[in-house]
Amino acid sequence: MAGRYEIPRRTVLAGAAMAPAMLAIGAAGAHATESAQTVHGKVALVTGSSRGIGAATAKRLAQDGYAVTVNCEVNRDLAAGVVREIEAAGGRAIWVQADVSDPAAVRRLFDENDRAFGGVDVVVSNAGVMRLAPFRDMTDADFIRMVDVNQKGSFLVLREAARRVRDGGRIIALSSSITQLRLPTYGPYAATKGAQDMFANVLAKELAGRMVSVNAIAPGVVDTTLFTDGKTPEQIAGFAARTPHGRIGEPSDIANTIAALCRGDGAWINGQTVFANGGIV
């Protein structure tokens, strides 16, 4: 029985009726009948998942029952290693080398996912690069690279996700807490991450009625080469000291947050930027 202010479930879930397991990832929002973490027959595609946050997310979603498409730009061995780890733990995964800044490559990435697994329920637009310099020293090449991968690349991935994610699914884009910290040398990078907040909020509205929740996740500092490269141990310790929890983040901290949004009872968080940063902001 629908509540007073609800669209009858029959209307919004017409397409989902043939796939009851979809409730597991929240097609019915507050009505989800299954809040267990393990899903069946669901598929997740995670860009930039050969290492770092993406690799942790691919492994965590596989642990939760998703078949996973792993993606890399250059590190094929690492991507293959993530797939081997998932398979060794009893999961299903493929890896696809595709540069997210190339529209044809992004279409092929989704095509290969669909060929292997028949569709997609969760897309995590995670691939990213960071180049730091004060404005006066930032090169054209570094600026363009960040815009190409982080902003254009994520747009291409989210566009494909908007076209292909099944009803009741999830779309997640990696933003950053740097949009609030706003530190010197981070300006152009932070701008490409702020774009993710806008992408997620607007796309959530565009997908109204399909029970797809779209969010941005904004990690703080996380122990990956993207963050640690070029920093001294003292600088890294400084970030840990600024964090109320007394450490910098691990990739698993972010993977856990993403997994929580993907669960059935995470559906109500929609169109938001979720800060997962140990309290640094």
Ligand X SMILES: NC(=O)c1ccc[n+]([C@@H]2O[C@H](COP(=O)([O-])OP(=O)(O)OC[C@H]3O[C@@H](n4cnc5c(N)ncnc54)[C@H](OP(=O)(O)O)[C@@H]3O)[C@@H](O)[C@H]2O)c1
Q: Which residues bind ligand X (CB under 6 A)?
A: 47-54, 71-75, 78, 99-101, 126-130, 149, 153, 174, 176, 219, 221-222, 224-227
Separation between Cα atoms, residue 110 and residue 101, nearest integer Å: 14
Residue 174 phi, psi dihedral angles, 5° rounding: -85, 110
- Minimum CB distance to ligand X smaller for 48 or for 168: 48
- Estimate the crossing angle of helix 251-262 against helix 52-63, to 10 degrees: 40
Specify the pairing of strand 120-125 against strand 165-174. parallel
- Per DSSP, the three-state class of 142 is helix
Of 213, 187, 186, 181, give the one whose Cα is nearest residue 200. 213
Secondary element (H or E) of residue 172:
strand 165-174
Of 249, 265, 277, 263, give the one whose Cα is nearest residue 60. 263
Minimum distance, C-beta of residue 142 to ligand X, in the bound complex (Å): 13
From residue 83, alpha-carbon distances to 74, 78, 100, 268 in Å are 15, 9, 19, 31
Minimum distance, C-beta of residue 176 to ligand X, in the bound complex (Å): 4
Amino acid at 230: G
Minimum distance, C-beta of residue 53 to ligand X, in the bound complex (Å): 4
Minimum distance, C-beta of residue 277 to ligand X, in the bound complex (Å): 8
- Minimum CB distance to ligand X smaller for 78 or for 260: 78
Q: Work out the widest C-alpha separation in the chain, in whole angstroms.
A: 62
Of 198, 217, 275, 265, give the one whose Cα is nearest residue 244. 275
Beta bridge pairs of residue 123: 45, 171
- Minimum CB distance to ligand X smaller for 175 or for 213: 175
Q: 186 catalytic, yes or no?
A: no
- Minimum CB distance to ligand X smaller for 54 or for 65: 54
Minimum distance, C-beta of residue 225 to ligand X, in the bound complex (Å): 5
- Minimum CB distance to ligand X smaller for 25 or for 217: 217
Separation between Cα atoms, residue 240 and residue 244, nearest integer Å: 8
Minimum distance, C-beta of residue 23 to ligand X, in the bound complex (Å): 30
Q: Choose, from 5, 66, 186, 189, the residue flagged as catalytic.
A: 189
Of 261, 275, 150, give the one whose Cα is nearest residue 219. 275
- Minimum CB distance to ligand X smaller for 122 or for 174: 174
- Per DSSP, the three-state class of 277 is coil
Catalytic center residues:
189
